[in-house]
Structure 1
Amino acid sequence: MELVADTSTIIAVIANEPEKPLLIAKTQGYDLVAPRSLYWEIGNAFSAMIKRGRITLEQATAAIEIYKQIPIDLLDVDLEQALELVDKHKVYAYDAYMIACALDRGCPLLTLDGGLVYAAKAAGVEVWEAN
């Protein structure tokens, strides 16, 4: 069975956040999928951490190497569907891509993002929270 893993969960695993063991346990036996935008969201998250002085370039580069080892299938999403989700649920595009991916694949969404939990549930997605 497939499971959509959002950016917050991937970052938590890469960065060794306290939720990491639970996230890894929840994903065991599932094929991870995400919208193609995940790649850019990961880059955006680490660039923000560098800019704020939370991590160094070397730490970010090491984290990206860990990210590359995560077996996750990046998928295209229907942009029209995503924009409809933006309009209906007043979410950002990146959240709409996650919701659209879960709807399209008919699978649950794993997230640490409270706002995404609310919008995804409202859109009819089964949500797994890991916090």
Structure 2
Amino acid sequence: MGPDPLERSLFLQVEADLREAIGPPETQEALAPIDRLERLRETLAVLAVSLARTHGHLAWFLSGALTVLEPVLRWRALPAENRHSFGTTIPSPKQYTEAEDAVRRLQDAVTGITNVAPPQ
């Protein structure tokens, strides 16, 4: 059974917003680290707002995606003194790439969910 029309509409918006935030690998890798981090944090905002608008299985799915991407919240793009870093770390280029790849897999999963035929 696929999503109902309201859920499908929400997921179409999620898909569009995620694709706007995280583009193809060559586009993302050309960005400065601070811009890459900004876009990854935008994906968290998209997921959080969407989670607030749904319930049930779709809410469970979105909360799982948020949990997986949560480490992004502890990243920073600029150097800081230890006492002013609030426990944040500067991620490696590989960590950026892995997080962006996770968002792309999420985009594909959302596409699959929205392409399931709605209930009759």
Q: TM-score, normalised by structure 2?
A: 0.32
Structure having the larger proportion of residues in strand: 1
Larger Rg computed on CA atoms: 2
More helix by share: 2
TM-score by length of 1: 0.30
